[in-house]
Amino acid sequence: MLHLRLISPSSRTGEVTSLLESTVGTAHLVMLPGAARDPVGDVVMCDVAREAADGLIANLRRLGLDEHGAISMEDIDLSLSERGTQAEVDAPGEGVDAVLWEKLTDATHEESRLSVTFVAFLVVATMLAACGVMLDSAILIVGAMAVGPEFGPLAGVCTALVRRTPRLALRPLAALVVGFPVAMLVTGAFTVLMDAFGLFTLERYEQPHPVSDFVWQPDMMSFVVAALAGTAGMLSLTSAKSGALVGVAISVTTVPAAANAALALRYDHVGESVDSVQQLALNLAGILVAGTLTLVGQKAFWAWKRRHLAPAAKSAG
């Protein structure tokens, strides 16, 4: 269940409460007349089943509550109520499958900013991956994948495309377009510094690297793996099972490919550097395509669900 807290202008509170009472999947309605001070209005609260929340938020926005009042929502860790349990039963579908589009947009928008923190994480991850490639260490390469923050902007682009808001895609695209080149440039400088200390050498780089050779060998399997990771990542975000995101991060060859591109260019292996950039592009494309298609499928599924099951639930109630 989710807890919904609304600030409503007094002139619209009647419409708001009527909407909440008529929505399948709501319970525990509370109205506090005149309790809000900024903005001035009434405070209305209720609990709502996750699978009914997205449609309810959309209807509240049609009432202008996001412009003239406020809409806040949070997860409920524990709710002991027969009425609440019945609301979850009445709501069509399963809560774990539900997509809260406003929440998803807000989360991906926040995670996809071109910020100092984002660039710092990407730079550190790329330098860590460079160490992993040089040492041919699977542990370091996997660690660098887990540190990389690139899935946030990728998810932001997917969400913006599915919601048909191209303007929202500009910020995550800027984070990717600026972040990766900066990370590769800094990693190149890092490589020069490590050379000066004798920690990186051309001889070590040119030795066989059976563990890390995949980072500069793009093929269709790279695209397939990235597509599967993109699907899993979007399902993780929309179902609030964030634990799967770690698995997504260590499944794709983005950060290691960027690191190897910088290393190869430093040691005049131009062809290998180009292949690494292609590997990076292939993985980014796979995640974007699969993530977008996953959201399109979820959007179509819930549109069908509402059309076919909501009327039945209302009549049953």
- Reported as a single tens digit per residue, the pLDDT across 67-124 is 999 999 998 888 889 998 898 888 876 666 677 878 888 777 777 788 999 999 999 9
**SS3 label, residue 72:** strand
Q: How confident is the model at residue 243 (pLDDT cuts 50, 70, 90)?
A: low
- Averaged pLDDT of the chain: 88
Instruction: Tokens for 19, please give them.
Output: 């909407």
Q: 200: closest CA among 253, 136, 282, 123?
A: 136
**SS3 label, residue 10:** helix
Q: How confident is the model at residue 315 (pLDDT cuts 50, 70, 90)?
A: very low
Type of residue numbered 101: W
The reported pLDDT for the residue numbered 75 is 87
Query: Quick one: fold of 2-98?
Result: Alpha-Beta Plaits (3.30.70)
Lowest mean pLDDT among 84-98, 210-224, 285-299: 84-98
CB 317 within 8 A of CB 309: no
Which residue's structure tokens are 């991850």?
125
Check pLDDT > 70 for residue 241.
no
Strand partners, 2: 48, 75
**Domain chopping of the chain, boundaries:** 2-98, 103-302
Check pLDDT > 60 for residue 309.
no
Check pLDDT > 70 for residue 313.
no
Q: What is the mean pLDDT of residues 51-56?
A: 86
Strand partners, 30: 45
The reported pLDDT for the residue numbered 119 is 95
Q: 295: closest CA among 3, 89, 54?
A: 54
Q: How confident is the model at residue 316 (pLDDT cuts 50, 70, 90)?
A: very low
Helix axes 255-266, 138-147, angle to 10 degrees: 120
- Rg (the chain; Cα; Å): 24
